């Protein structure tokens, strides 16, 4: 997260860190953010899984950590049983940039609710929030576009939902924006998602609950003035998500 503030996992208990095992290094490497939506289910961005051999058996999901690399008594760690990339995901435009992961469990229960681990609410399929609604993003991603490091501590930032008609290629170095994307940015030009935050949450208040409206997907740099971040529009996928969960 560029700008924003350092946070505590209890402020974003649905935040997941997705890691991948690198056999050469014999260690798990941070890959992307994710969002806990149910005891055994994590949403993330499809583009996180397109390069390297990101086989399900090499993935591991970490929940409940304020510090990305520091073990904590509140953490819950899971292997991944299987994951699904959206069938219409387009790796050129990042259209349909959504992936669903099923965590491995012995008895059908995976994440246990705690102050540090709690799922985000999914929106109703037709939920449309007013333009410029203030929402929150979070992640362990970079604090500057060209920083060599990911953030060691979880951060959160405040961004506002952009009117769709203002979210156009001219604002995003010419790249296409589809109806499956939603733009959000800080009108002060400070807070924004950045590299490594992908797959993580954009949550907005709805009836007093934080509701998952977006998944961090792409942008033109991080925190440039008048340049929004682009998010997968979660309301367009509630049927895709629930049908996968029901069938599996």
* Residue 97 touching ligand 4AZ (CB under 6 A): no
Apex 187 CA angle, 182 and 191, nearest 5: 80
* Residue 216 touching ligand 4AZ (CB under 6 A): yes
Residue closest to 7 by CA, chosen among 223, 236, 201: 201
* Residue 111 touching ligand 4AZ (CB under 6 A): no
Q: Quick one: which of 98, 135, 194, 204 contacts ligand 4AZ (CB under 6 A)? A: 194
Helix (H) or strand (E) holding 239: helix 238-247
C-alpha–C-alpha distance, residues 160 and 172, integer Å: 17
Identify the residue whose tokens are 């807070």.
191
Give yes or no for a contact between 140 and 67, defined as CB atoms under 8 angstroms apart.
Answer: no
For the question of residue 90 being annotated catalytic, the response is no
| Shortest spacing between CB 217 and ligand 4AZ, in angstroms | 7
* Residue 200 touching ligand 4AZ (CB under 6 A): no
For the question of residue 198 being annotated catalytic, the response is yes
* Residue 222 touching ligand 4AZ (CB under 6 A): yes
For the question of residue 47 being annotated catalytic, the response is yes
Residue closest to 217 by CA, chosen among 246, 182, 241: 182
* Residue 34 touching ligand 4AZ (CB under 6 A): no
* Residue 231 touching ligand 4AZ (CB under 6 A): no
User: Where on the chain is the footprint of ligand 4AZ (CB under 6 A)?
Assistant: 192-195, 197-198, 216, 218-219, 222, 229
């Amino acid at each position: 997260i560029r700008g924003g503030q350092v946070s505590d996992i209890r402020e974003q208990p649905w935040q997941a860190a997705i890691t991948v095992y690198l056999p050469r290094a014999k260690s798990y490497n941070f890959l992307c953010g994710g969002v806990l939506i149910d005891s055994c289910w994590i949403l993330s961005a499809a583009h996180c899984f397109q390069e390297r051999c990101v086989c399900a058996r090499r993935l591991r999901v970490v929940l409940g950590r304020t510090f990305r690399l520091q073990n904590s008594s509140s953490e819950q760690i899971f292997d991944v049983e299987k994951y699904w990339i959206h069938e219409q995901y387009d790796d050129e435009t990042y259209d349909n940039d959504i992936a669903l992961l099923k965590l491995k469990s012995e008895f059908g229960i995976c994440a246990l609710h705690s102050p540090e681990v709690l799922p985000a609410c999914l929106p109703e399929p037709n939920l449309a929030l007013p333009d410029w609604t203030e929402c929150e993003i979070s992640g362990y991603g970079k604090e500057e576009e060209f920083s060599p490091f990911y953030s060691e501590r979880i951060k959160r930032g405040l961004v506002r939902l952009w009117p769709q008609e203002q979210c156009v290629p001219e604002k995003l170095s010419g790249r296409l924006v589809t109806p499956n994307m939603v733009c959000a940015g800080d009108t002060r030009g400070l807070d924004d998602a950045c590299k490594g935050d992908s797959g993580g949450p954009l949550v907005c208040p709805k009836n007093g609950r934080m509701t998952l409206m977006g998944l961090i997907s792409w942008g033109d740099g991080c925190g440039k003035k008048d340049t929004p971040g682009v998010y997968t529009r979660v309301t367009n996928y509630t049927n895709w998500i629930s049908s996968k969960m029901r069938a599996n």
